[in-house]
A and B are shown apart, each in its own frame.
Chain A
Amino acid sequence: MTGFAWIDDPLLRVDRVTMRFGGLTAVNDVSFSVGRGDITALIGPNGAGKTTLFNCLTGFYKPTVGRIAFSPKGGLDDDRIDELTATARRNSNDGGEDLYLLERMADFEIAKKARIARTFQNIRLFSGMSALENLIVAQHIALTPASGYGVFGLIGLPSYRRAESEAVERAKKWLERIGLRRRADDPAGALPYGDQRRLEIARAMCANPALLCLDEPAAGLNANESHGLATLLREIRGESGVSILLIEHDMAVVMAISDHVVVLDYGQKIADGSPLEVRENPAVIAAYLGVEDEELGPAEAELTAETKP
């Protein structure tokens, strides 16, 4: 027992993943684990390959090389992963817990079966639909069987109406949570930017994920909103026990909420550890501030001061 969930109880293991686009290597031989119940931050300068790695995890890209194992309940076991890798299958549940090899799955299957939900750097809400509808579409997977694949719903069976009102309740709970209850029936595209960011997170949470992947959730938010976002994320993790993986540039947010920080630079992992360890890592400071070694001292002090709560 190390006391670090990403070592003791990982639910996601990224194993030597490389992603090449033609001659460009966006992600180069990156390995790390995400602990169950942790808030893990993936940081790095612009163009470090963070979003590419995210897209590999969520199936929007197929990694050129590498393996990504995921178990919603945590407790990844190397032997079982190797066993599954040897077969042609994408998932197994013979050892009790579900185990998925994400690099073999399509994007929507990862969301549907492995229950990994994500948000996007450039917000992707269904902007013409109301905020409430956005949250209900997110529950499509649960609602479709209840609607009898359309048939029961078409004739208006009570079982479907019950399922739908449950979905509405859940959506309402989230709308209240992010302070958008009043604007539930407004088109999502008409909401202020910060509200759209939070609505996208609520939408991802309505899909009932085991792992929530957030691509720069604090981008474009002011200091006050960022602070509110950090609180929201910590609360979400505390209540639902969902594991969170986020890409973030706002160091105040990262240092305040994360349990585990992975740093990428030029597609390679340069640091991996607790926020404290990472903050003091000279390679990280150099990558971030792009300074010569002799200037490291003041820069480090500045970074530390900036991220103090």
Chain B
Amino acid sequence: MLSAAASPFSRALKESALATLIVAGLAFPIIAFRADPDFNNLLELSARWPLFLAFCALGFGLRFLLSLWESRPKAALALAQATTGKQRKWLAPAALAALVAYPLLILALLGPQAALKWVDTFGVQILLYVLLGWGLNITVGLAGLLDLGYVAFYAVGAYGYALLAPLTGLSFWALLPVCGLLAAFWGFCIGFPVLRLRGDYLAIVTLAFGEMLRIVAVNWDAVTKGEAGLYGFPGLTFFGLPFIPGPRGFAAHFGVAFAGVHKLIFLYYLVLAIALLANFVSIRLRRLPLGRAWEALREDEIACRALGLDTAKIKLTAFALGAFFAGVAGCLFALRQGFVSPSSFTFTESATILAIVVLGGGGSQFGVAMAAALIVGSSELLRELTFLKAIFGENFDPTQYRMLLVGIAMVAMMNFRPRGLVSMRQPTITLGPEPEARS
């Protein structure tokens, strides 16, 4: 039995040695030496052996783990599957409880000043991306319509609030659905010309649409103030109580010391509530004729038409509803930021949201939420990894490696979970086993 146990181990060692050799070969010219110009503009060669060795060790370690993972016994695999099935039952309530407790926990642990960053970037921001991911999931994950210009609808929502709030004097409660409807209207408008398109062609047209809207925002100075952006519009209030220091603010009314984090905590719960509502709507819709028609459309458009489904209407609703969510998210984004400019709505944003949907496994709500936390959270988390400076020297800036890590994560995904984090599609309705088995 010893030889059977040792053989995968020694095989893994052999494979990782080979991998290390390859890494060393690649890293030697790229990483081991660095050429910097000195004051006389002459190149000065400096060796970086610790970094080089770190890369080699990383290559060795990863390949070793991978080899072991590949040769793991079947029984362990079955066990892993069994536990995930059991876990699924309490996963959702536990996740929800954690989400509700999160800002209060942070506040209690870190105090109002240090909690700001954690509630804002790791709370509100991630939730906004979750909301965006769920919205795009309707268009891309369920209906299978590849939309590369999704950020345009996000921008419509943000600009909608920034422009309408001072103009109409309405509160954000009233403007939230208005922003959603505005974006849905644009979703409808973009839906029409692309009804006949699929796949690559649809992607190109939506990509162009996203850029068009951004360029309009850049150039329409009279309304959007161009690159300078819009600011000074009414901010978030707690049912009429503004989050300001002084006698008429939220803090004074409830007799607590003023802290900037109050507004963010309220925004956090607001976004959480809206995201949960969006989730509820998505899950319900999936079980309705419309949602099933979306999925059928993704599977086979011609078969849909042969069954009498009006694919044009079905596509338009998918576009419009996906856009609605983005519009609402945009409105919340404007509230969070207090400042709206075209630079927030570049193609990179669309790509990030799409990456969230793809990484999450198209069509899965939970997977999308996890992917949003992973992509947005991890890139923000890198800013916090200051301890790495102790290893790589004072000049090491972990944020510069963000894209590299996202890239590695993507490659790893495509290797291990090519259909997304949660790739098992659950049927929207089941019959279960035959009645004989049940009684």
Contact, CB under 8 Å: B431 / A120: no
**In whole angstroms, what is the CA distance A153 to B434 when docked?**
27
Could you say which residues of chain A place their CB within 8 Å of the CB of B296? 126, 129, 137, 140
Encode contact with A along B338-378: 1 for CB under 8 Å, 0 otherwise: 00000000000000000000000000000000000000000
Encode contact with B along A82-123: 1 for CB under 8 Å, 0 otherwise: 000000000000000000000000011101110001101000
Query: Which of A42-50, A178-186, A262-270 lies at the interface?
Result: A178-186
**A258 interface residue, CB < 8 Å from B?**
no
**In whole angstroms, what is the CA distance A149 to B291 when docked?**
11
Could you say which residues of chain B place their CB within 8 Å of the CB of A207? 307-308
Contact, CB under 8 Å: A150 / B285: yes
Contact, CB under 8 Å: A168 / B431: yes
Query: How many A residues touch B, CB cutoff 8 Å?
Result: 46
**A243 interface residue, CB < 8 Å from B?**
no
Contact, CB under 8 Å: A137 / B307: yes
Contact, CB under 8 Å: B302 / A129: no
Contact, CB under 8 Å: B303 / A133: no
Taking A129-B427, A154-B285, A172-B431 as contacts, is the C-beta distance between A138 and B307 under 8 angstroms? yes
Closest beta carbon of chain B to A33's beta carbon, Å: 23
Contact, CB under 8 Å: A124 / B427: no
Q: Which of B284, B295, B300, B308 contacts A111 (CB 8 A)?
A: B308
Encode contact with B along A120-154: 1 for CB under 8 Å, 0 otherwise: 10001111111011001110110110010110011
**B1 interface residue, CB < 8 Å from A?**
no
Could you say which residues of chain B place their CB within 8 Å of the CB of A113? 308
**In whole angstroms, what is the CA distance A246 to B432 when docked?**
34
Interface residues of B in 284-312 (CB under 8 A from A): 284-285, 287-290, 292-293, 295-296, 298-300, 302-311
Encode contact with A along B308-341: 1 for CB under 8 Å, 0 otherwise: 1111000000000000000000000000000000
Contact, CB under 8 Å: A111 / B299: no
Could you say which residues of chain B place their CB within 8 Å of the CB of A130? 427, 429-430
Could you say which residues of chain A place their CB within 8 Å of the CB of B431? 132, 168, 172, 175, 181, 184-185
Closest beta carbon of chain A to B397's beta carbon, Å: 44
Closest beta carbon of chain A to B293's beta carbon, Å: 6
**A51 interface residue, CB < 8 Å from B?**
no
Q: Which residue of A lies closest to B287 (CB)?
A: A153
Contact, CB under 8 Å: A182 / B434: yes
Taking A154-B285, A184-B431 as contacts, is the C-beta distance between A120 and B295 under 8 angstroms? no
Closest beta carbon of chain B to A270's beta carbon, Å: 28
Q: Which of B290, B307, B311 contacts A150 (CB 8 A)?
A: B290
Closest beta carbon of chain A to B184's beta carbon, Å: 14
Closest beta carbon of chain B to A162's beta carbon, Å: 14
Number of A-B contacts (CB under 8 A): 124
Could you say which residues of chain A place their CB within 8 Å of the CB of B305? 60, 107-108, 111
Q: Which of B290, B307, B430 contacts A185 (CB 8 A)?
A: B430
Could you say which residues of chain A place their CB within 8 Å of the CB of B310? 108, 112
Taking A107-B305, A111-B308, A128-B299 as contacts, is the C-beta distance between A150 and B430 under 8 angstroms? no
Most buried by B among A108, A118, A132, A143: A108
Q: Which residue of B lies closest to A207 (CB)?
A: B307
Could you say which residues of chain A place their CB within 8 Å of the CB of B7? none
Q: Which residue of A lies closest to B291 (CB)?
A: A150
**In whole angstroms, what is the CA distance A4 to B91 when docked?**
65
**In whole angstroms, what is the CA distance A233 to B382 when docked?**
64
Could you say which residues of chain B place their CB within 8 Å of the CB of A156? 284
Q: Which residue of B lies closest to A152 (CB)?
A: B288
Taking A126-B299, A127-B299, A136-B292 as contacts, is the C-beta distance between A141 and B427 under 8 angstroms? no
Could you say which residues of chain B place their CB within 8 Å of the CB of A18? none
Interface residues of A in 181-220 (CB under 8 A from B): 181-182, 184-185, 187, 203-204, 207
Taking A130-B430, A136-B429, A137-B296 as contacts, is the C-beta distance between A150 and B309 under 8 angstroms? no
Encode contact with A along B241-267: 1 for CB under 8 Å, 0 otherwise: 000000000000000000000000000
Interface residues of B in 84-131 (CB under 8 A from A): none
Taking A128-B295, A144-B289 as contacts, is the C-beta distance between A111 and B307 under 8 angstroms? yes
Closest beta carbon of chain B to A26's beta carbon, Å: 19
Q: Which residue of A lies closest to B288 (CB)?
A: A153
Taking A108-B308, A133-B292 as contacts, is the C-beta distance between A185 and B432 under 8 angstroms? yes
**In whole angstroms, what is the CA distance A111 to B311 when docked?**
13
Could you say which residues of chain B place their CB within 8 Å of the CB of A187? 425
**In whole angstroms, what is the CA distance A184 to B430 when docked?**
7
Taking A124-B303, A172-B431 as contacts, is the C-beta distance between A137 and B292 under 8 angstroms? yes
**B222 interface residue, CB < 8 Å from A?**
no
Taking A153-B284, A185-B431 as contacts, is the C-beta distance between A60 and B307 under 8 angstroms? no
**In whole angstroms, what is the CA distance A60 to B310 when docked?**
14
Q: Which of A107, A108, A124, A140 contacts B289 (CB 8 A)?
A: A140
Contact, CB under 8 Å: A133 / B427: yes
**In whole angstroms, what is the CA distance A108 to B434 when docked?**
34
Contact, CB under 8 Å: B306 / A107: yes
Contact, CB under 8 Å: A137 / B293: yes
Contact, CB under 8 Å: B427 / A185: yes
Contact, CB under 8 Å: A108 / B311: yes
Closest beta carbon of chain B to A164's beta carbon, Å: 8
Could you say which residues of chain A place their CB within 8 Å of the CB of B300? 124-127
Which 7 pairs show the lowest CB-CB distances between chains A and B?
Answer: A112-B308, A111-B308, A126-B299, A124-B303, A153-B288, A130-B427, A184-B431
| CB<8 Å pairs between A and B, sample of 12 | A107-B305, A108-B309, A108-B311, A117-B306, A125-B303, A127-B300, A130-B430, A133-B427, A136-B292, A141-B308, A154-B281, A185-B431
B interface residues with partner A (beta carbon < 8 Å): 281, 284-285, 287-290, 292-293, 295-296, 298-300, 302-311, 425, 427-432, 434
